[in-house]
Amino acid sequence: MKRMADITHWADVVADEVLAKGRKHLVATGITPSGHIHIGNMREVVTADAAYRALLDKGAQAEFVYIADTYDPLRKVYPFLDESYAEHVGKPLSNVPCPCGKHQNYSEHYLEPFLVALERLGIHPTVYRADELYKQGVYTDAIKKALAKRNEIAAILQSVSGKTPADTWSPFNPICSACGKINTTIVTGFDQEAETVDYSCSCGNSGTVSMKGGGKLTWRVDWPARWKALGVTVEPYGKDHASKGGSYDTGMLIAKEVFDYDAPFPIVYEWIMLGNEGAMSSSSGVVVSISDMLKVVPPEVLRYLIIRTKPEKHIKFDPAQPLLNLVDEFERLHSVDAPGSYEKRILELSHAVGICHTDIPFKHMITIYQAAGGDFGKIMHIVKRAGYDTANERCIKELADNVGNWLEMYAPEFAKFSVKNELPVQAASLSETQRAFLASFSKLISLRAELSGEDYHNLVYSAKEQDSELTREMAQLLDVKPEQVQADPKELFKAVYTAVLGQQSGPKAGWFLSSLEKDFLVERFRKASEYKP
């Protein structure tokens, strides 16, 4: 039986295997920015980043690149697109107009927020855009080889994937100069000297394009061409490419036989499942975008979500209550005094630079935030009174913002409460004993200086003692002897929650009350005790 300390993190296992082949490596990842880039896609880049970091840690000479497939055609009018996009279906994404009009083109619209998110996650690959790589001629050699060996590639596709490419099939798809589409053209000839390709298009047009940017290789050829052109040695990819006869299988053979290149070390990863809604998918609209998640939790928690799970296991992700457990778990791990080597490694790989930490737990801030009604001045006031370090105000602000967004976007109802501005009508249901308690409680609080959470807590429980100040006050109001006061603390707490929140339960009472203004409480409890419907 191995102890946790003996476990090697999967990223280090990958690094070790890869290092057995050589010291110099290029880790690559790529995503098509055809829709909101979601946390399922994030798995790819975080996985790549983990492998990259592990390689660097072992002294390898490693680089990390991210290729945005901006030259892919728009496949269809996705549910989140306007119908007017019908005319753009088939055009390369970088030639399709931006949905909001503020970006250079369609792919930039989705790419930009993703790149911002990468920055926050502490992931810094060299970013390439496929359309630029093609236009710069990075793929030209590969295009020449692929066109020349068209039949060989077709044979590989047939033998591995079991389907015969059509006679008109070509590894290269020209962009039609008339209709702008890339998936409607047929290659009719090419010139290796001039580096041009002739085509005819189903729109009736025909012409000649340059190999530099005039079109792109079909996916199954594009991928191995990229390996060769950039020198990719390690690449994570989704299980969609990992099927028998899938694009990794064909890519591996095409790389070897057409481009004379060994396929990169594969890291196959599973999907992230969203709650009970199934796999995330940009085209179906079942999506939690990375940008949304970064509004809600620190980036390191998102990294941790990916890092702690082996790539081949699927991850269940739920941004509602289960997200709190994740945050909790991470905070706990973070505060362990002597973490084992495995835990330490998880933390290292989850680490993102430039993140600030506070010692305030996320869950605690949920209460503080709501007690303060979201007002940051009040939040700081409460935080200070609770004895937390307040020097790092910026970090506390970040945490408060996260919590505020979480409450608004994902929090289940039971986690929410609000301190009512007026006495809640539920006060009508208070019993005589509860009223007497609130009146006495109000009076005693008003006579004291500042009370701590514990003070409040103890004061409530003092109702159980016959000779306490509270019991005597209540007895007088109820016109009975102190020993006849029958106060169940449970009922008293309910009275407190009813008066302040209009509900039967709430956050840990003593601590909660200490985060509210004393004068407010005195007034509120007095009113509640006198309330007559």
Q: How far is the CB of 491 from RNA (least distance, A)?
A: 7
CA gap 512, 445 in Å, rounded: 15
Does residue 270 interact with RNA by CB under 7 A?
A: yes
User: Nearest to residue 499, comparing CAs of 454, 460, 458, 455?
Assistant: 460
**Short-list 32, 29, 30, 40, CA closest to 289:** 40
Q: What is the rounded distance in angstroms from the CA atom of residue 54 to the CA atom of residue 33?
A: 27
CB 484 within 8 A of CB 474: no
Identity of the residue, 382 or 509, whose beta carbon is nearer to RNA in the bound complex: 509
Per CB under 7 A, 30 contacts RNA: yes
- Report the Cα 380 to chain-centroid distance in Å: 27
Site string for RNA, 496-515 (x = CB under 7 A): ---------xxxxx-x----
Q: 55: closest CA among 234, 293, 203? A: 234
Q: Which of 140, 161, 177, 291 binds RNA (CB under 7 A)?
A: 161
Q: Is 157 in the site for RNA (CB under 7 A)?
A: yes
Nearer Cβ to RNA (259/330): 330
Query: In the complex, what is the shortest distance from the CB of residue 193 to RNA, in angstroms, rounded to a whole number?
Result: 28
> Going residue by residue from 224 to 263, which x/- string records binding to RNA, judged by CB under 7 A?
---------------xx-xxxxxx----------------
Q: Are 208 and 189 in contact (CB under 8 A)?
A: no
Closest CB to RNA among 120 and 344? 344
Q: For residue 271, give the DSSP letter.
A: P
> Cβ neighbours of residue 165 under 8 Å, at least 6 residues apart?
154, 157, 158
End-to-end CA distance of the chain: 68
Site residues for RNA, 76-115, by CB under 7 A, read none
Binding mask 424-443 for RNA (x = CB under 7 A): --------------------
Q: What is the largest CA-CA distance in the chain?
A: 109
Scanning 54-62, 102-110, 218-226, 436-444 for contacts with RNA by CB under 7 A, the matching segment is 218-226
- The whole-angstrom separation of Cα 10 and Cα 7 is 9
Q: Which residues pair with 31 in a beta bridge?
A: 68
- Name residues contacting RNA, limited to 173-212 (CB under 7 A): 183
Q: Is 417 in the site for RNA (CB under 7 A)?
A: yes
In whole angstroms, the minimum distance from the beta carbon of 475 to RNA comes to 18
38 binds RNA (CB under 7 A): no
Kindly state the DSSP code that residue 4 receives in the 8-state scheme: G
Using the contact rule CB under 7 A, the part of the chain among 58-66, 265-273, 348-356, 372-380 near RNA is: 265-273
Q: Compute the distance between CA of residue 317 and CA of residue 350 in angstroms, rounded to an integer.
A: 17
List 97, 99, 165, 231, residue binding RNA (CB under 7 A): 165
State yes or no: residue 457 binds RNA (CB under 7 A): yes
Q: How far is the CB of 101 from RNA (least distance, A)?
A: 25
Question: From CA 50, how far away is CA 68, in angstroms rounded?
Answer: 19
19 binds RNA (CB under 7 A): no
Figure out which of the listed residues 279, 320, 356, 428 binds RNA, where binding follows CB under 7 A: 279
The Cβ of residue 282 has, within 10 Å, a number of other Cβ atoms equal to 22
Q: Looking at 11, 26, 28, 32, which residue binds RNA (CB under 7 A)?
A: 32
Evaluate the CA torsion angle 276, 278, 282, 284 in order and state its sign.
negative
Q: Which of 163, 204, 421, 450 binds RNA (CB under 7 A)?
A: 163
> Interface with RNA by CB under 7 A: which range of 113-121, 193-201, 267-275, 389-397?
267-275
- Binding-site size for RNA (CB under 7 A) equals 78
Distance of closest approach, residue 98 Cβ to RNA, in angstroms: 20
Nearer to RNA, 43 or 220 (CB): 220
Closest CA to 434 of 525, 519, 532: 525
User: For residues 361-400, which are near RNA according to CB under 7 A?
Assistant: 361, 363-364, 366-367
Pair 328, 363: CB distance under 8 Å: yes
How many residues are given for the chain?
533
The one segment of 207-215, 264-272, 419-427, 431-439 that binds RNA by CB under 7 A: 264-272
The nearer residue to RNA, 389 or 465, going by C-beta atoms, is: 465
- Residue 6 gets which letter from DSSP? G
